[in-house]
Amino acid sequence: MFKYLIRKAGIPVLIFGFLSATVFADDTDTLSARQQAIIPIAAHTASGDIAALNTALADGLDAGLTVNEIKEIFIHAYAYVGFPRALNGINAFNRVVDNRKSNGINDKLGKSATPVPENFDRNAFGHEVRNGLVGRDISNRTTGYAAFVPTIDVFLVEHLFADIFYRDVLSTADRELVTISMLAALTGTDAQLTGHMNISMRVGYSAKQLLAFTQVLANNVDVAAASRAFNILTTISDIDASEQPTKVTVDSGKSTITGAADKFSGKAIVSSIFKAPASSHYRGGIVSFEKGAKTAWHTHPNGQTLIVISGKGYVQQKGEEKLLMEEGSVVTIPPDTLHWHGATDESPMAHVAISTPEAGSTVSWQGFD
């Protein structure tokens, strides 16, 4: 498919030689557990869904990804979704690793990137990599974005396709999986997603493996992302529209989160965490308050709905009287309205909380009085 080149400068330029023979398992209809774990990490990094990313990171480590491989996903991600999302992901990963260490889990660090040689020709290397990926020489384009803003093409060639792709912590196939996972999680990037799904097939993924990729998106990211990728897959392969991934799921709801002391007074447990199958739609969970426990003051950018399922509690808007809520009560919190809610001193209380995120966040905490 591609070849192994030795440049005059003496720098080995490994352009994906024998990739499909060394990276992929014999069964080209499936993705390995490791490959499946990469997908939600990259997608949730792109979408900014840190709560879901935390779960994906732990699952990725359990599936065999090394710490350095996951770090490399974030390094690769910033070229596609920017420093803010990449740095947010890195900070989340740092917390996940620290938490696992405190629980006696020592995750494998993994190998570091091979240092770049002093005589590294970024321009030559970057062009070789990009040309190899797309399957033709596009080094001297005179139209399109490269002609209109030549500087951005220099950055693409010398930084993304040279500095980043030279780093051998992830394979080229891994990097393409990261890329299509991020692009599928975004809206308005169908052209780029189409290009990179084509590239993914060039570097060794089969159409059936990309179909499996869309199923992982449906199961672990959201249906909208899966649909975007699937619709493109049907245009670039022989995958039929009838094979579109769908899945009805039942979650045990057994995983729980204890409310942080700076956000809850008294003990509160969050369980049965859920989100809509379409990205940026509703999400929520069940919050169970012990007697006297309550939230700090906070707001929700798109408001919140509470449905009390047991006990009695109060909700109070800043500057207003507190209101009693009990089993069966439906409480509507308008957008950006400062309030708190919690159990009475005499009764525990549990409610379902449902809200819609804005820029990946559903809440802004304001502390206690």
Which CATH homologous superfamily contains domain 4-243? AhpD-like (1.20.1290.10)
Mean pLDDT of 37-66: 96
Parallel, antiparallel, or unpaired: how do β-strands 339-343 and 364-367 relate?
unpaired
d(CA 72, CA 162): 15
What are the pLDDT digits (tens) for 134-169? 999 999 999 999 999 999 999 999 999 999 999 999
Nearest to residue 237, comparing CAs of 211, 204, 203? 211
**4-243 and 256-367 share one fold:** no
Alpha helices in 103-137 (DSSP H): 122-134
CB 145 within 8 A of CB 153: yes
What are the pLDDT digits (tens) for 69-94? 999 999 999 999 999 999 999 999 99
Domain ranges of the chain: 4-243, 256-367
Which residues, 6+ apart, have CB-to-CB distance to 28 below 8 Å?
A: 206, 208, 209
d(CA 35, CA 16): 18
d(CA 126, CA 177): 19
Determine which of 16-25, 56-65, 309-318 has the lowest per-residue pLDDT on average: 16-25
Sign of CA dihedral 242, 45, 50, 305: negative
- Give the torsion through C-alpha atoms of 256, 260, 261, 262, to 10 deg: -150
Mean pLDDT of 96-109: 95
What are the pLDDT digits (tens) for 234-291? 999 999 988 887 666 666 666 788 999 999 999 999 998 887 765 557 889 999 999 9
pLDDT value for 248 = 65
pLDDT value for 10 = 40
Instruction: Reply yes or no on whether the pLDDT at 17 is more than 70.
Output: no
Nearest to residue 31, comparing CAs of 163, 158, 184, 214? 214
d(CA 366, CA 77): 31
104 sits in the region (left: phi over 0; alpha: psi -120 to 50; else beta) called left
Instruction: For domain 256-367, give the fold.
Output: Jelly Rolls (2.60.120)
Which residues, 6+ apart, have CB-to-CB distance to 280 below 8 Å?
A: 47, 356, 357
Instruction: Reply yes or no on whether the pLDDT at 42 is more than 50.
Output: yes
CA distances from 291 to 91, 265, 272, 305, 358 (A): 34, 11, 21, 21, 32
